[in-house]
A and B are shown apart, each in its own frame.
Chain A
């Protein structure tokens, strides 16, 4: 914000600081521990009156001088140079807060240099007692250096009370300062053993070499125990959120965490080898291996420490990209281009959008990301994104997963940044999804003779749209499983719903008879559902044609879980396959009535909008392998699961095997969130402040898409949010119920969601998915017309039995859907594949696309009925 940013595309991503810091820290710890090592080795030489050991100590001192003073000293200055270039704002904070800490450390540095020069150059020339005194003074200065720097470095991880009082001492004696000090001191001693072995293996005299290698081996082993003990103390002293970041939240840190333990074991084994046997044959090679392992040890620890404080460079004070916590609100309001100093494009226009995006990229991204470099390369992690996906990813940063800072700036700036990454860095064209042309073909409506026909057969699909995840080789969210319902009415002066002595059959139109040749569901049904299914037979045993069963409770004939898919055998995509429903006399087989209905089913699920990959079928729908795998990859990354590996072993996962879901009757494991809450809750964090776009980027309701599932009468004046709320509202309603049930994860997902339909989270009414849904009667009070602008958000049905799709009219005879159509396709519906494709029954029986019997009781009633009707308001 305050400073120019060095545009380090290839060498960025922390490569410079990682390189210089790890080697410096390794050598500088040696510079501390090695001081004591020299003194104690010299004492050992005097005690044992051993000239070879004294000579070894002298030679080791020369090695020590050349390594620690030249390389160690200058790389230390190098770190300072480097951090000032990469994060001047945080460096300035450290300098201004701790200037006298640094200055005191400088005095120690001076003392170290003088002591070390004298120690080495007077070796053998000074009286032993005085020479040892110089050695002790060196060690004192070196350890005090570590003491001072440790306080400041650890301050960055746990600034403690400094955040409130800004006091030097609060920052220095921060909550983890002491455990860190013990940890680093132990490391320093251990490293002095590692470097001791490195010089000891070159001793020519066999006996001396063996003695000294074993001696150094003990220098590795004993401090190693202290490293583990103090390391545990250090870890336990960290605030819970940092512990969690290291062990759970940060995907990359997990690798370092694992390696830390592997390397620990290696150090222990080699340490024991050296201390106990000092093997001759592998001596030199092992010494170098140990040296490399020591460096890895330092590296993994430093990466964990730096990673643990993410997304901050000074915890809760300044982010890794130099953005200050306290500036966030202002920058979001005024914009990063207005508040940062080193910016050329202050306003975004169509002409400069790319250049402005690049400037924002420079300000907010390249302090951690390289472009095509070795570390934290931004290219592979953003390759999958469209501008929309990238923008959404930026939206979600710093919310649920806090290892990256939040985006600072306005919506327009965020879009400019997304545009730069996708179009600029990746060179993608990223045109908007084309408008899908659907074929509004003729709809063949069965005949009905109002004067002669005795029966009215009504059929419908209960949900109005059933989505299918045809990502079967990887995971299953929803299998092909459509439910059809039918009611047969015997017309008369007093019409009655026929429930006996009839057979009601269903049959899909010919082009849709072979779903198994379009989706891999049947190959994985056993692995996913534990059922061996015949081709084209669904989970309940129903196929694409068959008899419906009578459900006495609902007084309806139904065929459930019909495995229809939106892929015609002749090719392409049609999410509204047509079924013919026929009612026959059970005894004679005579056809009593025939009608049709669609079984709406779509694979237009837009996961690819953010997860990458293309559509699998006809360029308009279906899951490509790339999309499906990325979904698993992200799930694995964020939740430490192994779903992708499982799918590769031929065991795709059913989401509901862990997550409860009332629609499938899945109970879940009781710990994790139910599936709708998990999915909406997670993604709402990435799709905030949007309208229906947030809905149709996942669900098949895009106005440009091939399904347009919201097609009923409500689509004329309303959109998804009218009943369901915006995505934030919707997600909060689901999460609140889960939070009330004691699921902590719900609170984590809710933390950054702000409701938009109501004033506060407190005003959102929690609900159970699929059962507490927007109540029709909330707007249609007394079954009357809805007032303009009314919304049923937050006015949920009391339970499953109150759902529209479960409800009957007065007398409990006809189901609501029988006369009004399926949800989202309430009559009159405008189907993109033929206007009346969803209006068959009204057209068939009353030649008018409207609620059945509206002003036309004669559809069923051959004699004018009395007052009241099927519900109030008729």
Chain B
């Protein structure tokens, strides 16, 4: 039995894989930004809760308001990439999920608890007093745990060589702890969350500042400081992650071929710009560069995934039995849905002013 014989047979696609790939990348970028905002705000809320000054208090309060939205949209926007991931890589992730089924399924329970903690934190913010920090810390720890479980699965699905462990443990309690990329990869995402959590606060207070709130300036500064410091740490972690990649994968990435080279150069440029705008505390340019960086990073991640899977699977292997009408239904409803959402947001934005 070789690892390849364990790789399940994929099912047939409805439209060529490129469509799903585009949808996957697009929705994953959105999910990543939201997830980073969510986790970053939770972590920031814990540290801000420990701080004593007025600014920290205001930022903590703001985090409490942000969190229920952030969780709701992280989950919602997460559904789409998980769906498209299952279309393209379902045969891999179903297998790896079963191997770590206990942990994987626990995500649902952990998230429900984390979510309710965040709501209690928000609704009872003042009433809880200092105990609220404990509550949001619990929520943050749960989110970090979920992230760790995701990192395990996302690496395990790429490495069928590890799947043999199933034969000595079919109970769904396998983790991919021996994978050298696991820790740097996980820390890479967590640190990104801290950075973007800071940035999200900076953006919020920047808007308030523009609307004339004087105290906002120092909060923008705090947010940008979080952002910048985390990004500096990220440089080291990113390098660690890169070097921890299996040699075959790394050599594909650094082979000098056009596409990966462009990606790497673009990434390096974007990161430099992020650092520059970070230290300069320029919120909007930094935010734009972060969006660009995340996009490039997602593309690199995608390239790395393909390199991992190369020995036994390529997206172009997937068979297609074409039927386009359902996709048209989706695209139309997506556009109409977004128009209605925009309309509702417009009504909501007007609401406060009328009251």
Contacts and interface: CB of A to CB of B under 8 A. Distances in A.
Decide if A and B are genuine partners.
yes
Interface of A: 2-8, 16, 20, 66, 69-71, 73-75, 77-78, 80-82, 84-85, 88, 91-93, 95-104, 106-111, 113-115, 117-118, 121-122, 124-127, 130, 133-134, 137, 166-169, 341-342, 344, 362
A169 B329 CA distance: 11
Given A103-B80, A344-B167, A96 B344 contact: no
Contacts of A168: 14, 323, 325-326
Given A107-B337, A113-B72, A137-B344, A130 B351 contact: yes
B112 A102 contact: no
B135 to A, nearest CB: 15
17 contacts: A2-B91, A5-B98, A70-B112, A84-B86, A85-B98, A92-B86, A95-B90, A104-B329, A106-B80, A107-B330, A108-B333, A109-B79, A110-B77, A111-B337, A114-B341, A118-B347, A118-B348
A107 B333 contact: yes
Contacts of A117: 69, 72
Given A168-B323, A168-B325, 10 more contacts: A2-B8, A5-B170, A75-B108, A84-B94, A96-B14, A98-B326, A99-B84, A107-B334, A111-B340, A344-B167
Interface residues of B, number: 69
A335 to B, nearest CB: 15
B108 A81 contact: yes
A7 B171 contact: yes
Contact of A85 (B104, B119, B166): B104
A114 B105 contact: no
Contacts of A75: 108, 112
Contact of B347 (A5, A71, A88, A126): A126
B115 interface: yes
B295 interface: no
4 shortest A-B CB distances, which residue pairs? Answer: A88-B94, A100-B326, A78-B108, A7-B170
A106 B337 CA distance: 10
B345 A114 contact: yes
Contacts of A74: 75, 108, 111-112, 115
Contacts of B23: 103
Given A100-B326, A111-B341, A88 B98 contact: yes
B354 A127 contact: yes
Contacts of B334: 103-104, 107
Contacts of A5: 98, 170
Given A84-B94, A92-B11, A130 B347 contact: yes
Contacts of B351: 118, 122, 125-127, 130
B355 A110 contact: no
A73 B77 CA distance: 12
Interface of B: 1, 5-9, 11-14, 20, 23, 69, 72-73, 75-77, 79-80, 82-84, 86-87, 90-91, 94-95, 97-99, 101, 104-105, 107-109, 111-112, 115-116, 119, 163, 166-167, 170-172, 321, 323, 325-327, 329-330, 333-334, 337, 340-341, 344-345, 347-348, 351-352, 354-355
Contacts of B7: 341
B94 A110 contact: no
B83 A3 contact: no
B145 to A, nearest CB: 15
A77 B230 CA distance: 31
Given A110-B337, A127-B354, A134-B347, A103 B83 contact: yes
A133 B333 contact: no
A103 B85 CA distance: 12
Contacts of A88: 8, 90, 94-95, 97-98
A134 B94 contact: no
Nearest to B71: A70
Contacts of B341: 110-111, 114
Contacts of B115: 70, 74
Given A7-B170, A77-B79, A95 B348 contact: no
Nearest to B171: A7
Contacts of A169: 325-326
Contacts of B327: 100
Given A95-B83, A96-B11, A130-B347, A73 B94 contact: no
Contacts of B108: 20, 74-75, 77-78, 81-82
B325 A126 contact: no
A70 B104 CA distance: 19
A98 B166 CA distance: 30
A5 B351 CA distance: 53
Please indicate which of the listed interface residues A6, A75, A80 has the most CB atoms of chain B within 10 Å of its own CB: A6
A125 B14 contact: no
A6 B94 contact: no
B337 A108 contact: yes
Contacts of B72: 69, 73, 113, 117
Given A104-B329, A107-B337, A96 B8 contact: no
A104 B325 contact: no
Contact of A81 (B76, B107, B354): B107
B47 to A, nearest CB: 25
A71 B112 contact: yes
B347 A96 contact: no
Contacts of A3: 8, 91, 94-95, 98
A134 B321 contact: no
Contacts of B326: 98-101, 168-169
Contact of B344 (A16, A104, A134): A134
B99 A4 contact: yes
A95 B86 contact: yes
A635 B323 CA distance: 50
A82 B355 CA distance: 45
A491 to B, nearest CB: 81
Contacts of B91: 2-3, 92
Contacts of A92: 11, 86, 90-91, 94
Contacts of A80: 82
A74 to B, nearest CB: 5
Contacts of B1: 344
Contacts of B112: 70-71, 74-75
Contacts of B345: 114, 118
A111 to B, nearest CB: 5
Contacts of A106: 76, 79-80, 83
Contacts of A91: 86, 90, 94
Nearest to B99: A4
Nearest to A362: B170
A362 B172 CA distance: 13
Contacts of A16: 105
Nearest to A74: B112
B119 A70 contact: yes
A69 B354 CA distance: 27
Contacts of B9: 2
A81 B110 CA distance: 13
A360 to B, nearest CB: 13
Contacts of B13: 96
Given A88-B94, A99-B87, A93 B11 contact: yes
B353 to A, nearest CB: 9
A80 B72 CA distance: 17
Contact of A341 (B6, B77, B80): B6
Contact of B14 (A66, A93, A100): A100
A169 B325 CA distance: 9
A99 B94 contact: no
B330 A100 contact: yes
Contacts of A99: 14, 20, 83-84, 87, 326
B235 to A, nearest CB: 34
A127 B347 CA distance: 10
A80 B333 CA distance: 22
Nearest to B166: A4
A109 to B, nearest CB: 6
A102 to B, nearest CB: 5
Given A100-B330, A103-B330, A6 B172 contact: yes
B76 to A, nearest CB: 5
